[in-house]
A and B are shown apart, each in its own frame.
Chain A
Amino acid sequence: MQQRPPGAPRDAGAVPRAKAHAFSALLHRSPRLRLAALLTAPAGWLVLVYIAALAALLITAFWTVDTFTGEVSTVWTTENIVTVLTDPVYQRITLRTLWIAVAVTVIDMILALPIAFFIAKVASARWEKLLVVAVLMPLWASYLVKAYAWRNVLAEGGLLEWLGAPIGLSSPGYGETAVILTLSYIWLPYMILPIYAGFDRVPDSLLEASGDLGAKPLTTMRLVMLPLLVPSIIAGTIFTFSLSLGDYITAQIVGGTTQMLGTVVYANVGAANNLPFAAAVSLVPIAIIMFYLFIVRRTGALNNL
């Protein structure tokens, strides 16, 4: 509080200032009150906006839509869930989405391992810093723009066709392959960074000891480095896998007619106007991700995120 200079005329602000002073003194006396003042707004926001929304999503999955009015009616049914799980159309979409997510994860792992190793263990300190920034920067470029960029790359008469022409390759066009390529591209930095951090944490002395004991580089990699690296690799797969699982924008932009779980969710929110069904479909990726997190929990990967 700023002190009023002695003799200064009482101004209109004096009364509220006195109140603020009393409030400040009250807060000072009670740490509990201070905590409540700090915590109420943000915790309230998270619970009222986000947790309530997730809970409502779960509940809505068990409601239906009135076919006449198009309004959501609160009649309880497991029909949506049953349809999602048993209808061959949705089973196919679920399997396709899973396949895309697994393929993206494997491709990213193969691409990320050598560059992460190079940055952490081969490059000089100056280059290491530069390369990390070079990998990190595009991570922040808009996801939408990256998918759009691939629409350009894959286009008829585009860059990929021009590059592939001399060696007799053509662009795969828009479809499932394009989705896998584009998603691998978009999530690649998310795989490189945790693996790089993992390599970086492996002490050089350990590798030297292995070499001194007669192991060839490949043996050292397999027996010393890889086991230490598993949590980091899994941390990377959590990103690539779960982010691919929820995607629908990429499928829309380069996928042609390819449908993923996200596509179905979006279509049912918009055009088909069947929120309960969309909610039921969205529970599938949530369940798969939770299951995956549950399996990998014990590897310690979650601390590497």
Chain B
Amino acid sequence: MRLSRSAKAVLGVVSGLVLLFIYTPLMLVVVNSFNADRTFGWPPKGFTLEWWGKAFDSPGVRDAVVSSLWVAVVATVISLVLGTLLAMSLQRYKFFGRDIISLLVILPIALPGVVTGIALNNMFTTILGVPLSLWTVVIAHATFCMVTVFNNVIARLRRTSAGLEEASADLGAGVFTTFGLVTFPQLRSALLAGGLLAFALSFDEIIVTTFTIGAGETTLPIWILQNLFRPNQAPVVNVVAVVLIVVSIVPIWLAQRLSGDSVGVSGARVKAD
């Protein structure tokens, strides 16, 4: 099939327009965070750093940042441990029910966030009678963050041979020594990549969070949602939104450079829900 020059040009222009469509709204938020006009009409009327200053001085924003960081770090640590254990058992062993478990692990990202959210909310409040707090958010986030760690680690394990571990055992190393000196060094960058992705996912997750967070607690996305409809908070919301964009994209970018395994769309799904 040979496309004419003009057909290629048309396709190129259409692709450019689609990319413009993808980037314009995000750029608009960035521009508006420096827009001197409070009503954020277009075109912007002037440049100011006032909103960035206000955001840094706002105790509400600071508390939300601290909560978001805390939740993301704890959820990441839990999902690193669980995701690695799961990947090692599914990749290195054959056992009854293995297929079911590998299906189970993607379920939290295969179902819409609203389903995961209400299921966990119902579990905590109705069935267990546990009051919602930041801990319940951590448990919810760890459940779906596990998938990104699992995906990264299992992809790495597939490419490394179990022979090295057997050799290590043959040479007299114990189970823990083998893990520490042979398995772990091979997994290190995959763990870092999975961990960064998990962190980014947790940091800006909103849907499951709205269902599992305790009254009076705020993470950064929750803060945005609460202040979105307050006109006098709009300038600061723009700034926080830019922070969210940066904090979620930078770890992903790092993770992609680190892992070498492409970060597929199904890994990204969590993000969406």
Considering only residues 22-51 of chain A, those with a C-beta below 8 Å from chain B are 24-25, 27-28, 31, 34-35, 38-39, 41-43, 45-47, 49-51
A-B contact number at CB 8 A: 288
With the chains together, A146 CA to B24 CA distance in Å?
Answer: 11
Task: Give the contacting residue for A143; candidates B24, B211, B237, B272; CB below 8 A.
Answer: B272
Residues 117 to 148 of chain B near chain A (Cβ within 8 Å)? 118-123, 125-127, 139, 142-143, 146
Given contacts A117-B11, A152-B25, contact A275 B122 (CB under 8 A): yes
Given the contacts A145-B244, A279-B118, A39 and B85 also touching, CB distance less than 8 Å:
yes
| Pair B101/A43 contact, Cβ less than 8 Å | yes
A193: B residues at CB distance < 8 A: 264-265
Collect the chain A residues with CB atoms within 8 Å of residue B224's CB. Answer: 144-145, 148
Instruction: Tell which of B24, B88, B143, B207 touches A49, judged by Cβ atoms closer than 8 Å.
Output: B143
User: A138-B22, A144-B204 are known contacts. Are A38 and B273 too (CB-CB below 8 A)?
Assistant: no
A90 within 8 A of B: no
Q: Which residue of A is nearest B206, CB measured?
A: A144
- Stretch in B54-62, B103-111, B187-195 touching the partner: B103-111
Residue of B nearest to A236 (CB): B265
Chain B residues in 8 Å Cβ range of A137: 249, 252-253
Interface centre among A112, A136, A157 (most CB of B within 10 A): A136
Closest to B242 in A: A145
Residues of B within 8 A of A (CB): 1-4, 7-8, 11-12, 14-15, 18-19, 21-26, 28-29, 32, 39-43, 81-83, 85-86, 88-89, 93, 95, 101, 104-105, 107-108, 111-116, 118-123, 125-127, 139, 142-143, 146, 169, 174-177, 200, 204, 206-207, 210-211, 221, 224-225, 228, 237-238, 241, 244-245, 248-249, 252-253, 263-266, 268-269, 271-273
Q: Is the CB of A246 within 8 A of B115?
A: yes
Bound-state CA distance A118–B39 (Å) is 39
The docked-state distance in angstroms from the alpha carbon of A141 to that of B249 is 6
Interface of A is mostly: helix
> How far apart are the CA atoms of A112 and B14 in the complex, in Å?
10
A217 at the binding interface (Cβ < 8 Å)? yes
Docked complex Cα distance between A119 and B16 (Å): 11
Min CB distance A97 to B, Å, is 11
